[in-house]
Structure 1
Amino acid sequence: MDIPGNLTTGERVRLLRESRGMSRPVLAGLCGRGPDWLKKIESGERELRSHTLLMRLAAALQVGDVSLITGGSPAVAQPVRPGRLAHPAMPDIWQAVMTRPLTWPLPDAPPDPAALHARTAEAWRLWHTSDRQRTQVGALLPALIRDAETAARATEGDRRRTACVALSEAYRLTAQATAYLAPAEMAWVVADRALSAAQAADDPAQIAAAAWSLGNILRSTAHPEEAVAVVQDAASLLKPHLDGAPDDWHGVYGALQLHAAVTAARAGLAGSAWRYWDAGDRVAKALPAAYVHPSTMFGRANVDFHQISVATDLSASRQALALADQVDPEAMPSVERRARLWVEVARGHLSRGDRTAALHVMQIAHGTSSETVAYTPAARTAVLDLWRDAPRALRPEAGRLAEAVGVAVA
């Protein structure tokens, strides 16, 4: 867009924000800050001096160069990726999701719902065991979505309910695989279809799992109160059915508590965060020691991992690192979740100013799952911070990591 040259940085931010129809709380939330911070930036009461925050603003506003925000100051002008990270699987997934026909000829022999259920289970297994989960799962999703949609329309009775469960699972997995990749409009469509399919199946556990995915979207779009409300509503729906229910129903219930714990922690609500974490911990203690939920990974190890995440998000880095010393990463069967644990530990070291340890741990995270680091904003931000502030002797290593992750370091 054509921005007048005489505008200040704050005026430019406001103009760009309003042109995109974004509210102050939403944009501030995408930058990890509060609306008061953004109000002061836009009014000129506060200067935008942080390079990291400048890059976050540019990404959230989806501008191709930060000079649109700064006015072209040579000290900070720098190209920036679009607001959503690019991945080669996205065009085909977008096509499968966003161009779904309202009517089409149904086959005489639609896909078997039981076979679809097995395919979604295998895709979830691949998501958690591959270090290139977005690429490998992303290649499966378009066909899986189309086949599940067909089966849900072409079957009846119990077979249709089974097909709807598979469809809900396919859309939940799509939400995971396209997190930070999909535009907001697609993310909302995917979350809504997962919930609608679960409701069509009349399956309380699937409804609760779909609400868990919807909570992720609400949290990532700076709606923490709504996110907690959704997952707690789902927990209330599921709780009356838990007596005598399968372990996986309890696993979903526990995952909802951990979701609320992290959401509260990111909002700075320590009391609520630890109360929700305690609730999840009690669920894990009542389940078999080796139990792991197949999609959310709820179980003993995940509860311990979330304890570290809660402490990190509450800026209790000393506590987070002490807790990290007590966990065994290999107890978590999910490669993706192990990599995110190492990212949390690296963030803890960064918050304490120990960049040498942070760089070492982030290298472990990248070695565990390169795509988890490359496509997670918190990890990318940590890598960029490391490159900018690493000790001189470690600067070449930090630069190689930043280049491997795809963070702009020019």
Structure 2
Amino acid sequence: MGERIQVLRESRGMTRKVLAGLCGYGPDWLKKIEKGYRELRSHTQLLRLAAALQVSDLSLITGGEAAPVPLGRLHHPTLPDIWDAVMRRNLIRPADGPVDVAVLRGRVDQTWRLWHGSRHNRTEVGSLLPGLIRDAEAAVKALDGAERRSALVVLSDVYRLTGQATAYVAPAELAWVVADRALMAAQDADAPASIAAAAWNLGNILRETAYPEQALETVTDAAELLRPHLTTAPEDWRGIYGALHLNAAVTAAREGREGDAWRHWDTGDRAAKSLPPHYVHASTVFSRANVAFHAVSVATDLKASSQALSLADDIAPDTMPSLERRARLWVEVARGHIQRGERTAALHVMQLAHGIGAETVAYTPSARTVAAELWRTAPRALRPEAAALAEAIGIAAEAA
């Protein structure tokens, strides 16, 4: 079994550290399994490995009978309609009346605000996306010249939003199609800020699909595209520039590259301080508050739990207008407490996270991992609360 795991890992270009980290363990744990020094008897650990390796059949790991496994993709009821809208592209120029790009732009901006402002953002945004995708595609086909370029920027934003709303629930092929279309539309519009925003989205997907080097290259190249123009550029150019460096900081931290992680974070911090105190980028929510939130994420990913919790102590969460980002902050704090073995504190902040962004917790793997760990290991007196959290986000149903 260990040899099979090693072959699968190497065929995907993953280091032991990366694969073990995706399973919630250190590289020594995986090394002992691959070398045959430790038996892998836990079905939960086996499923984690299968999901991290994107293996659809456990027999590829065990060598035994075929046994299908979930690939970490959760079900969401809005996905079929979104899939249909993405995959059924009308190649014929629409015969409808004139398209008002300004109205379409307003609808997309409003939907971004809904994404950041709703506890049930995936459901509410997901129900709007099919119509937005079709209308934005139709606008690009119906218009020419400067209006078409404006429509292409809107289309790129729609596909970026689609990537956000379907993260962890869309199959890999849909994630790649959506990311590629966002970037192509921005490039067709020849809009640097839109290109950079699409690269930010692509960097997220590359990182989550175990391509950290390509993720770093994508976001740093996009940042370099904007850097020569920052002194005279609009505020949003500086906002997306800062967001790209925060994206790079998280990727570097997950790879254990401490120096690179904090270097990128520092660049993002300087970008935030060059903007007005209350500036917030509409889609990435880059801001001074988001820089502080990312410092907690970087420290947690570097396993510096004491530093992460100390940084979190100095944050006022309500300064972040995005409920999605606020919920993610508490998940990072919970991860820090779990690293220190503080399960009572971890359960408390996970309950806060769920109260703020129910679907952010239910559809984010790191949050589900923490909730599952608490369900298994919470102190006896808190097991009913841990079980209630697991049931609320669907972990208990999966186990059943």
- TM-score with structure 2 length normalisation? 0.91
Change in CA separation of 1:24 and 1:232 when aligned onto 2, cut-off 3 Å:
closer
Tell me the SS of whatever aligns to 1:295. Answer: coil
* Matched residue, 1:91: 80
Residues 63 and 83, structure 1, Cα contact 8 Å, conserved in 2: no
Question: Is 1:54 matched with 2:54?
Answer: no
**Identity percentage over the alignment?**
66
* Matched residue, 2:178: 190
Matches within 5 A, 1:66-105: 81-101=70-90, 103-105=91-93
Counterparts of 1:280 and 1:105, CA distance in 2: 42
Residues 50 and 58, structure 2, Cα contact 8 Å, conserved in 1: yes
* Matched residue, 1:180: 168
Change in CA separation of 1:151 and 1:37 when aligned onto 2, cut-off 3 Å:
farther
Change in CA separation of 1:87 and 1:141 when aligned onto 2, cut-off 3 Å:
same
Which amino acid in the other structure matches residue 381 of structure 1?
Answer: T
Post-superposition offset of 1:154:
1.4
Structure 2 residue aligned with 1:127, among 112, 115, 119?
Answer: 115
Counterparts of 1:349 and 1:34, CA distance in 2: 17
* Matched residue, 1:3: none
Change in CA separation of 1:403 and 1:22 when aligned onto 2, cut-off 3 Å:
farther
Change in CA separation of 1:380 and 1:146 when aligned onto 2, cut-off 3 Å:
same
Structure 2 residue aligned with 1:353, among 322, 341, 346?
Answer: 341
* Matched residue, 1:5: none
* Matched residue, 1:402: 390
Post-superposition offset of 1:60:
4.1
Change in CA separation of 1:32 and 1:342 when aligned onto 2, cut-off 3 Å:
same
Counterparts of 1:44 and 1:399, CA distance in 2: 35
Number of aligned positions between the proteins: 394
- Deviations 1:336-388 (Å, cap 9, x if unpaired)? 00000000000000000000000011011011111001000000010000011
Matches within 5 A, 1:82-231: 82-101=71-90, 103-231=91-219
- Deviations 1:258-292 (Å, cap 9, x if unpaired)? 01111100000000000110000001111100000
Question: Is 1:281 matched with 2:273?
Answer: no
Structure 1 residue aligned with 2:240, among 252, 255, 268?
Answer: 252
Counterparts of 2:209 and 2:56, CA distance in 1: 21
- Deviations 1:228-255 (Å, cap 9, x if unpaired)? 1111100111112222221111100000
* Matched residue, 2:288: 300
Which amino acid in the other structure matches residue 125 of structure 1?
Answer: R
Counterparts of 1:187 and 1:36, CA distance in 2: 32
- Deviations 1:5-40 (Å, cap 9, x if unpaired)? xxxx4467579x59xx96262993754678997676
- TM-score with structure 1 length normalisation? 0.89
Counterparts of 1:31 and 1:150, CA distance in 2: 43
* Matched residue, 1:44: 36
Matches within 5 A, 1:255-404: 255-404=243-392
Post-superposition offset of 1:157:
0.8
Counterparts of 1:227 and 1:167, CA distance in 2: 23
Unaligned stretches of 5+ residues in structure 2? none
Post-superposition offset of 1:114:
1.4
Post-superposition offset of 1:51:
5.8
Change in CA separation of 1:167 and 1:37 when aligned onto 2, cut-off 3 Å:
farther
Identify which range, 64-73 or 165-174, moves more after superposition: 64-73
Counterparts of 1:263 and 1:13, CA distance in 2: 24
Counterparts of 2:42 and 2:312, CA distance in 1: 29
Counterparts of 2:103 and 2:41, CA distance in 1: 55
Tell me the SS of whatever aligns to 1:25. Answer: coil
